[in-house]
Amino acid sequence: MGVVATLEYFSDLLSSKKGKKRKQLQTVDLKVRMDCEGCQLKVKKALSSLKGVKSVDVNLKQQKASVTGYADAKKVLKKAQSTGKKAELWPYVPYNLVAHPYVAQVYDKKAPPGYVRSSENPAITAMSPLEEQYTTMFSDDNPNACSIM
Q: Does the pLDDT of residue 44 top 80, yes or no? A: yes
How far apart CA 126 and CA 135 sit, in angstroms, is 13
Q: Furthest-apart CA pair in the chain: how many Å? A: 65
The arithmetic mean of pLDDT across residues 109-128, rounded, is 70
How far apart CA 70 and CA 55 sit, in angstroms, is 10
Q: Does the pLDDT of residue 103 top 90, yes or no? A: no
Q: What would the pLDDT profile of 67-101 be if each residue is shown by its tens digit?
A: 999 989 999 999 999 999 999 998 887 767 776 66
Would you give the distance in Å from CA 122 to the centre of its chain? 20
Q: Which amino acid is at 3?
A: V
Across the chain, mean pLDDT equals 79
pLDDT-derived band of residue 8, with 50, 70 and 90 as boundaries?
confident
Closest C-alpha among 5, 47, 13, 4 to residue 29: 47
Residue 15 is predicted with a pLDDT of 67
47: left (phi over 0), alpha (psi -120 to 50) or beta: alpha
Residue 6 is predicted with a pLDDT of 76
Greater pLDDT, 115 or 7: 115
Residue 17 is predicted with a pLDDT of 57
Domains defined for the chain, CATH in brackets: 19-90 (3.30.70.100), 93-148 (no CATH)
Q: Does the pLDDT of residue 122 top 90, yes or no? A: no
How far apart CA 2 and CA 108 sit, in angstroms, is 44
pLDDT-derived band of residue 108, with 50, 70 and 90 as boundaries?
confident
Among the residue ranges 48-57, 64-73, 133-142, the one predicted with the least confidence is: 133-142
Is residue 92 within 8 Å of residue 116, measured between CB atoms? yes
